[in-house]
Amino acid sequence: MIKKDVFQKNSVILSLALLCTLLWGSAYPSIKIGYSLFSIGENDIFGKLLFAGNRFALAGILVILLTWIIQKKFPTPKKEALSHIALLGFVQTTLEYLFFYIGLSHTTGVKGSILNGTATFMAVILAHFIYLDDKLNSQKVLGCIVGFMGVVIINLGGEIGSGFTFTGEGFIILAAASFAIGSLISKEAAKREDSMIVTGWQLLFGGALLIIVGVLGGARASIPSTEAMLLLLYLALLSSVAFTIWTILLKHNNVGKVSIYNFLTPVFGVFLSAIFLKESIWHWKNLLALVLVCIGIYIVNKPKVKNS
């Protein structure tokens, strides 16, 4: 049995955080490759929603099964947590990935990776207005300004793959906003129920809603090839595995010590999109925007040094 203090070692934190952010970053090219493998056209909105729904419903089932194994009892949510779990599933899975899956099909994986990093800044700003003990300070304001500068730069027009469209870059930003709002709902839900139980059921509920909308819109589930099946399984596994590991790290360490590694997700997303989708990252706007967003995320999450 693994000792709890193992997860507090800096080398373990670094290794597991790298794994989580690598998995999350790999989702960007994986989703775009999935569109091709499942023959989902650019304008096939309901096909995208069914694809997303299948992924997250499966991820939810995997988290629930894993929680069952770890806790040695079936993870049934408490009644007082059900409304929060349902709301979280709607906002952070159904709504977020409705925007994300449509938006990503109308922009590049590189831009999607960078723009989705704005969720960190939105969550920080929203928390200021909701929680008395989580107010903006000079460090957080600086991080948000630096990060949003990156968003402005990458959306400057004039080059191939740049510019701004509402159903592309706009939807990615709306997905980030949904994630930020969902983070606040998740915090309230976690006060009423174990975080793994909350996540498993909200993923299943939110994924089921996406499936229903997709089917009602005319989409039909099919696995056209072994490659398509393996990709769908990978997407579900990356969500469930990365979340489980991240939850364990947060449980045994200060939030800031773990969340500071969030800046690596857009880095992995950008470079994996360049490798697997053959997208260009070497334009000055892409590189500068990536650096600014990552620095912004790092500044926002960096623990303040206490004066001795």
103-107, 123-127, 145-149, 154-158: the lowest-pLDDT one:
154-158
Predicted pLDDT of residue 121: 85
Predicted pLDDT of residue 124: 83
Predicted pLDDT of residue 2: 56
Q: State percent of the chain over pLDDT 90.
A: 41
Residue 161 has pLDDT above 60, yes or no: no
pLDDT band for position 308 (50/70/90)? very low
Residue 157 has pLDDT above 70, yes or no: no
Going by C-beta distance under 8 Å and a sequence separation of 6 or more, which residues neighbour residue 162? Answer: 154, 155, 156, 283, 285
Residue 284 has pLDDT above 50, yes or no: yes
Find how far residue 84's CA is from the centre of its chain: 19
Instruction: From 230, 216, 167, select the one nearest 37 (Cα to Cα).
Output: 230
Which of 36-40, 181-185, 299-303 reaches the highest mean pLDDT? 36-40
Instruction: From 241, 285, 275, select the one nearest 16 (Cα to Cα).
Output: 241
Going by C-beta distance under 8 Å and a sequence separation of 6 or more, which residues neighbour residue 124? Answer: 136, 140, 143, 144, 300
d(C-alpha 117, C-alpha 263), whole Å: 8
Mean pLDDT of the chain: 87
pLDDT in tens, 109-131: 888 888 888 888 888 888 888 87
Predicted pLDDT of residue 163: 67
pLDDT in tens, 214-257: 999 999 888 889 999 999 999 999 988 888 888 788 777 776 67
User: Comparing 259 with 101, which gets the higher pLDDT?
Assistant: 101
Handedness of CA 256, 259, 261, 267 (dihedral sign): negative
d(C-alpha 305, C-alpha 302), whole Å: 9
d(C-alpha 293, C-alpha 18), whole Å: 18
Predicted pLDDT of residue 298: 87
Going by C-beta distance under 8 Å and a sequence separation of 6 or more, which residues neighbour residue 23? Answer: 238, 241, 242
Handedness of CA 81, 82, 83, 88 (dihedral sign): positive
Helix or strand holding residue 132 (H, E):
none
Strand, helix or coil for residue 151? helix
The arithmetic mean of pLDDT across residues 2-16, rounded, is 80
- Number of neighbouring beta carbons within 10 Å of residue 152: 11
User: Comparing 132 with 108, which gets the higher pLDDT?
Assistant: 108
Going by C-beta distance under 8 Å and a sequence separation of 6 or more, which residues neighbour residue 291? Answer: 150
Instruction: From 308, 40, 256, 1, select the one nearest 140 (Cα to Cα).
Output: 256
User: Comparing 134 with 86, which gets the higher pLDDT?
Assistant: 86
pLDDT band for position 160 (50/70/90)? very low
**Considering the entire predicted model, what is its pTM?**
0.84
Going by C-beta distance under 8 Å and a sequence separation of 6 or more, which residues neighbour residue 243? Answer: 63, 199
Rg (CA), the chain: 19
Going by C-beta distance under 8 Å and a sequence separation of 6 or more, which residues neighbour residue 63? Answer: 196, 199, 200, 203, 240, 243, 244
Predicted pLDDT of residue 305: 56
For 101, counting Cβ atoms within 10 Å of its Cβ (0-12 exposed, 13-18 middle, 19+ buried), the class is: buried
Handedness of CA 134, 138, 139, 140 (dihedral sign): positive
Instruction: Round to the nearest angstrom and report the end-to-end CA distance of the chain.
Output: 38
Residue 294 has pLDDT above 60, yes or no: yes
d(C-alpha 111, C-alpha 54), whole Å: 25
The arithmetic mean of pLDDT across residues 164-172, rounded, is 89
